[in-house]
Amino acid sequence: MLGSPAVLVAALLAFHSAVPNAVGNLGSLLETFLPWLGVPVVALLGVASLRRSRAAVAATALPAVVWAVMFGTSVFPGSPPPGPPEPSSVLTVLQHNVADDNATPATTANTLAGAGADLIALEELTPATLPAYEAALTPRHPHRFIAGTVGLWSRYPLTDTRPLDIKPKAITAEWNRGLRATVRTPAGDIAAYVAHLPSVRIRPQDGFGTAWRDESATALGTAVAGEQLARIVLLGDLNGTVHDRGLAPLTSRLTPALRGFAFTWPAAFPLARIDHIMTRGAPATSTWTLPSTGSDHLPTAARLDLR
């Protein structure tokens, strides 16, 4: 009796990319919450243990093994590589969707300013809240660039700054949620991208609506593919997880910082990591989330090795 559900869970884990998006984007919806298939795995193992059946335990071991192969390094990320980098070649980066309805932007800004990051990327900035972030962040991060609702603050000089056009074609109103800058660090230049991809929604009429998000991810992926600098860091609210095929234009070109699950949304009870730090030529040696700041997202941070 347990064999069929065990095989089903194992198949969904191992072959999630085969679940089609043709009907309601079910494939992307599954991939958004893929790590949570560990819950039915634990339930199946529990039932098998209660039955004291070797056959049942053997059957339920299949999805357990598949889950462990896929997500075991997130639970037990292991040790950083030997030979820690010199402080001058470590870049600590932080990214946060601060929420445009955040009732305490000054508190949020002060929390981020004291987090010890060299580079801070923010999304959902508004004209009303921007002064609070500038006041708190500028003393320690004097170099900054704002493009629409996204911004980047840095300890190090920024050059070649420009807005990044990732707007879906169907959006006709003013919409600027991407930027690109060169960060002049002591260990050399790194291209920094900040992006806030369109939100996704679950609606009865069309299921998991990701079309705008996917279109924006494709535009961002094209920009990253054309980047001339060898080292890249992408910081942003991408409104999708790394397993979601809609983010393939990015995950195929950049390496996500994935040491630990570090779920970021919703802040009250995080279910998915949709806020990301991805790199090329600058591997993340650690990644973590910060406590809630008053936003509906948690801040996420990482240390990058620029050697």
Question: Two tokens at 254?
Answer: 């950049």
Give the pLDDT confidence of 169-199 residue by residue, as tens digits.
999 999 999 999 999 999 999 999 999 999 9
Domain final residue, candidates 21, 53, 75: 75
pTM of the prediction? 0.90
Q: Are residues 142 and 42 in the same domain?
A: no
Tell whether 268 and 144 lie within a shared domain.
yes
Structure confidence at residue 5 (pLDDT): 85
Do 67 and 124 fall within a single domain? no
The verdict on residue 23 lying in a domain is yes
List pLDDT tens digits, range 234-247.
Answer: 999 999 999 999 99
Q: Is 260 domain-assigned? A: yes
For residues 50 and 178, state if they share a domain.
no
Q: Is 272 domain-assigned?
A: yes
| Residue 16 neighbours by CB under 8 Å, 6+ apart | 27, 30, 31, 34, 243
Domain span including residue 276 = 87-305
Percent of the chain clearing pLDDT 70 (strictly above): 94
78: confidence class by pLDDT, cuts 50, 70, 90: very low
Q: Which of 21, 45, 75 is the last residue before a domain boundary?
A: 75
Segment of 81-85, 146-150, 200-204, 258-262 carrying the highest mean pLDDT: 146-150
Count of domains for the chain: 2
Determine the pLDDT at residue 189: 98
Residue 79 banded pLDDT, cuts 50, 70, 90: very low
* Last residue of one domain, picked from the residues 45, 75, 105: 75
- pLDDT over 80 (residue 143): yes
pLDDT category, 18, cuts 50, 70, 90?
very high
Q: Would you say residue 158 has pLDDT above 70?
A: yes
pLDDT tops 90 at residue 227: yes
User: Under a CB-based contact definition with an 8 Å cutoff, are residues 234 and 18 in contact?
Assistant: no
251 and 184 in a common domain? yes
